[in-house]
Structure 1
Amino acid sequence: MVNMLGIINKDPFTTEKEILKRKREDIKLKTEVYALSQSISMSAHKARRVLDQIRGRSYQETLMILELMPYRACYPIFKLIYSAAANAKHNMGLNEEYLVIIKAAVNEGTTVKKLKPRARGRSYPIKRPTCHITIVLKDTALYEQYVVENSIRCLKKPGWIYKKKSTDITCHNMYSSGEVWDKK
C-alpha cells in the first residue's frame, strides 16, 4: 500500500502522523553522533569537573577550552571529542563547523585494586578508580534550515503583516547569533 507521501506502508493501520513521526526520529538519529571511551584511569568526579564546562558548546570552542584548561582530565576528553567529530565527518558526512555537544556524561568504572607491601609483612590497599565517558554531538545545520523554513512559512500566512516592532512574534533561532545558548 502506497500512501500520499509516496512511502510504501506494509501496515495498513498506521496513520500519516505516525509515518511523519518516524521520519522526524530518523532525521534526529542521523544528526547525532556519539563516542564512548571506557576504563580511563581517573576518578569520575575529576572528569565531571571538566565536562560541566564544555556541555552545550560548539565543537571548535570546546577544543580551544580543553587545550587551555590545566586539568589532567582534559587530554582524554579532548581525544574523545576529536574522535566523535571524526565519526560524524567520516560516517555521516557532517560538517564539523555545525557540531554542538548536547550530552557529556561520566559514569564510574571498575576500581583497580592493588596491594602495596609495607614493613613487617603487612600490606596497604591501593585503589585506582576508572571512569567511562560518553560524548554526543549534534549537527545544528538541519535545525537551522528547519527554523528558516518555518519562519518563512509563518510570514507567508495570509493576514500576517511583518513589522519590526518589539510586540511582533518572530521565530527565534538560538544558533542564529553565532553563540550557543548556555544553560547556566
Structure 2
Amino acid sequence: MRIETSAGPAEIELDQLRKPAFLLLLTHGSGGGVDAKDLLIVRDSALRLGGAVARVVQPYRVAGRRAPGSVVIQDQAWLEIVAHLRGRKRIPVIQGGRSNGARVACRTAVAARARGVLALSFPLHPPGKPEKSRREELLAAGSIEVVVINGASDPFGIPDPADAAEVRVIPGQSHAFRAGFDLIADTVTPWLARWC
C-alpha cells in the first residue's frame, strides 16, 4: 500500500485481521528497512495477539535516501501516515521502530495519540558522543508508556531505566540485533497483550 504524505509517498506492509484488538505501526532505522529481524519478531508477536501491524517505509527511504533529513518534515509525514492508517477506527494505536524509527515514534507519540511506544535500539547519543544526548526525544512521549530494547554493547548508548516504563538489555548485542530475538518476543508479548 502507498500513502501520499507532505514529504512524498510512504510504503506500507499491512498485516490485518478482520477485527484487530490494536494497531501497531513500526518503522525502520535510518538506512534500514522494515524486514529487519527484530521488527519481524515484534510483528509476529502482535499478530499472534490479534493485532494489526503496519510496517512503514518512510518517504525518505522510498525516495532512495539513507538519511531522514529534517526532523520536522519526518515527524509531520509520520503523523499523516498514522492518521491515514487509523482512519475512523477506535482501536488502540501503538507505535514503534528501530533506531531512527524509535526516535520518530517517541517524538510523535503525544500528537499521534498513541497508547504506547516500542523503541528498539533507541540511539541515545551518536557513538562516542554521550554529551549529545537524545534523552529529550525519549521523554517527549510524556506519560505514554515507552518500552526500550537495546543491545548491551550498543555504541549509541542505552537509555536510563528511569526514563522509560521498561528498558530491556539484550546481552552480547550491539545496535543491530543478531541474536536475542526470544528476549525481544518475551518483552514485547506481555506488553502488547495489555491492549487485547
TM-score by length of 2: 0.26
Question: Which structure carries more relative contact order (alpha carbon 8 Å, separation 6+)?
Answer: 1
TM-score, length of structure 1 as denominator length: 0.27
* Higher alpha-carbon Rg: 1
Q: Which is helix-richer, 1 or 2?
A: 1
